[in-house]
Structure 1
Amino acid sequence: MEQGAIKPAQPVDLLEIKDLKKTFSISGGLFSRRLTLTALEDINFTIRSGETLGIVGESGCGKSTLGRCILQLLPPDEGQVLWLGQDLTRLPAEEMRQRRQDLQIIFQDPLASLNPRMTVGDIIADPLRTLRPELNKDERRARVLKTMEAVGLLPEMINRYPHEFSGGQAQRIGIARALITEPKLIVCDEPVSALDVSIQAQILNLLAELKDEFGLTLIFISHNLSVVRHVSDRILVLYLGRIVELATGDEIYEDPKHPYTRALLTAVPIPDPKLARLRNIDALKGEIPSPINPPSGCTFRTRCRLAQSYCAEKRPPLETIEGGRLVACHRWRELDAPLEAVLGV
């Protein structure tokens, strides 16, 4: 890569999501009517250039669906995905294909996302063949070697195949493939969840270094709040396809306003059994409800210790509170347990 992206003098609104909704029609059985699964609803947020937005929530909350809708890998049912003011949902296929130079993704399972029949060099160069056809073979190879160096891969690895690499090395190949087109935005879809803890730290540090070196904007998807905090400027918390809280990483970790956010923090392991017992008040109870038939009103009420009868009657709006942070909870002011007891700090 000849030169990383240059950071703008002032951050700009790079991506704006407006009223995004995504549903899936699924079979209800041999003699039953088809059912509608609402994966995302009323999603609104903005990402500024150079920012990392973390998206967290349990499995089935819509995190990966949101990332794919942003990249137009899944077409949303309603709403807008505005890239520098241009609505990606309305772009013709050819224009959207060219736009993919700016929008890339890193997948969760590094080995499963790589073609086992292609060498590392061909895998990394593949986006250039489609998006930069004017480059000749030597130019593509030079870019591949430069990108491999940036992600910590040795030049002699260029002719090897994916099965010859560890999970961490394979993820570096996936990162290089995303980086080769010099994108402005990369969606990182659970990029470290399949890796050992020690390797997770290496990949997280690499992503932070690449963000600074190339002026990247990142969307970092994970179910682990402790992982997201280390890389994110702001954190968006999803529950059953809706935003329940959006704030800076420090605000989320030091003073969570939604009971679900607080419960996610209690899931972070701590070594002290006494402090761990103090967390029980906020621990998640029960299973996540089905998105086919979600609870009325507040969808989190069936697992919330603060829930009252009126929580079943009215869905809490996503309101702006102090400091511009967003929270959707009728009773967020009543989270009373000391946070030190919850976090074990």
Structure 2
Amino acid sequence: MRASRTIKRSRPVPETLLSVENLSTVFALRGRSLFSKSVELKAVSDVSFNLDEGETLGIVGESGCGKSTLGRSILRLIEPTGGRIVWQGRNLAELSNGEMRKARRDLSIIFQDPVASLDPRMNVGQIIAEPLKVAEPSLGRRDRRRRVETVMEEVGLAPEMINRYPHEFSGGQAQRIGIARAIVTEPKLIVCDEPVSALDVSIQAQIVNLLKALKERMGLTLIFISHDLSVVRLVSDRILVLYLGRIVEIGPRREVFQNPGHPYTKALLSAAPIPDPAIARSREKTALKGDPPSPINPPSGCAFRTRCPIARDVCAEELPPLAEVGAAHRAACLFSQEVRSEPALQG
């Protein structure tokens, strides 16, 4: 394998690898009958953020909020309908299919369901080697096998397992295969799409620790998608909170956990488990009421207002901007200072 990259921590300003600018992804859904009009489902709306080299950005929110769609749109596994995705100075949306295939050497993904993401007709060696055939077609069979065996050891799999098939592995082992497939081309960015949500708690910790170790060893940059704040808290440098496809809060992990600026974030933190029983008993609970509204017909103004404990009439009239509430910390709430008056959780 090529020598692992190391992050030059002495640089005063980290290099920005990825800039997402006003990204939107809309799905056109067919009507129920032959003559009814199609409707639009706005899965991701006007999302913007930067990602620096070596950083881990955690993306959190309830199921259906657009987390996975955002991650896959960034990689163009789902084609976005608006905005720009600038990777190392190049707009990915403007790349041809051939140029995009070359770019994918540096862009990878780990899927949520470790078993369903593996082709049952292929053995481990074939599964892990598949990205190499696209990224490095000139690589010989012997060198390709050597690379596969090396990454298997990197993720904690014995090279002797190379000829086994997915059904012979546990869920945790299957996810290690998925991680090996994701890192075999030595990418710079990996989108981790809920990589531990389908695993037992004890196995989750092993996979999280593996990802953290690989990040340090290979100099990886990660987008870590999850609905589990206790997991995101362990791996992320910054937190991005999505609600109905829009960013409602983004900021440094400690800032967001200690003093959230949006009532939705505060409610998510209130539901997150805390290992200290004393703190868990004493903290204020902020329960979310009702279900998220339909993204096909979202509420006017602030989409969270129908569930918000501090919503007022003005919330139905204005779409709150993503405004500064702290150092590198922004929230989309007209009453952020009221939300931040009481710290939510130790970060």
Q: Fold match, TM over 0.5?
A: yes
The aligned runs of 1:94-109 (5 Å cut-off) are: 94-109=98-113
1:28 maps onto 2:66 in alignment = no
> Does structure 1 residue 19 correspond to structure 2 residue 6?
no
Percentage of matched positions with identical amino acids: 59
Q: CA deviation at 1:251?
A: 0.9
Partner of 2:183: 179
Deviation at 1:278, TM superposition (A): 5.7
| Contact 2:273–2:280, Cα closer than 8 Å, also in 1 | no
| C-alpha separation in 2, matches of 1:205 and 1:246 | 24
Contact 1:233 1:248 in 2 (8 A): yes
Contact persistence 2:325–2:337 (CA under 8 A)? no
The residue number in structure 2 matching 1:4 is 4
Secondary structure of 1:33 counterpart: coil
Instruction: Give SS of 1:334's match.
Output: helix
Q: Which amino acid aligns with 2:316?
A: A
Correspondence list, 1:224-303, <5 A: 224-270=228-274, 275=280, 279-280=284-285, 282-303=286-307
User: Deviation string for 1:242-288 (max 9, x for gaps)?
Assistant: 000001111111111110001101121358599559644x1111000
Residue 217 in structure 1 maps to residue 193 in structure 2 = no
8 Å Cα contact 1:58-1:239 kept in structure 2: yes
1:52-71 aligned at under 5 Å gives the runs 52-71=56-75
Q: 1:293 to 1:204 in 2, by over 3 A?
A: same
CA spacing shift, 1:273–1:292, aligned 2, 3 Å? farther
**In structure 2, what residue type is equivalent to 1:3?**
A
Q: For the residues of structure 2 that align with 1:310 and 1:275, how far apart are their CA atoms?
A: 34
Give the C-alpha shift of residue 138 in structure 1. Answer: 0.6
User: Which amino acid counterpart does residue 159 of structure 1 have in structure 2?
Assistant: N
State the 1:4 CA deviation.
Answer: 1.5
Distance 2:182 2:281 in 1: 40
Asked whether 1:144 is paired with 2:148, we answer: yes
Partner of 1:167: 171
| Aligned-partner Cα distance in 2 for 1:15–1:344 | 29
Output the aligned Cα RMSD. Answer: 1.8
Instruction: Give the match for residue 198 of structure 1.
Output: 202
How far residue 2 of structure 1 moved from its aligned partner, in angstroms, is 4.1
Query: The residue matched to 2:40 in structure 1 has which SS?
Result: strand
In 1: Cα distance, 2:20 partner to 2:6 partner = 24
SS at match of 1:321: strand
Aligned length, in residue pairs: 342
Specify every segment of 5 or more residues in structure 1 that has no aligned partner in the other structure, as ranges.
none
Residue 316 in 1 paired to residue 320 in 2? yes
Return the alpha-carbon distance in structure 2 between the equivalents of residues 226 and 337 of structure 1.
23
- Aligned residue for 2:298, secondary structure, equals coil
Q: Does the CA-based 8 Å contact 1:25-1:36 persist in structure 2?
A: yes
What amino acid is the match of 2:237? D
Residues 274 and 256 of structure 1, relative CA distance in 2, 3 Å threshold? closer
Q: After superposition, what is the alpha-carbon deviation per residue over 1:208-249, rounded to whole angstroms, capped at 9, x for unaligned?
A: 000000000000000111110100000000000100000111
Deviations 1:157-204 (A, max 9, x none): 111111111101100000000000010000000000000000000000
> Residue 52 of structure 1 contacts residue 217 of structure 1 at CA under 8 Å; is this kept in 2?
yes
Q: 1:293–1:276: structure 2 CA closer, same or farther, 3 Å change rule?
A: farther
The answer to whether the 8 Å contact 2:44/2:244 transfers is yes
1:336 and 1:176 mapped to 2: Cα distance?
Answer: 41
Question: Can you give the 5+ residue segments of structure 2 that lack an aligned partner in the other structure?
Answer: none
- What SS does structure 2 have at the residue aligned with 1:186? strand
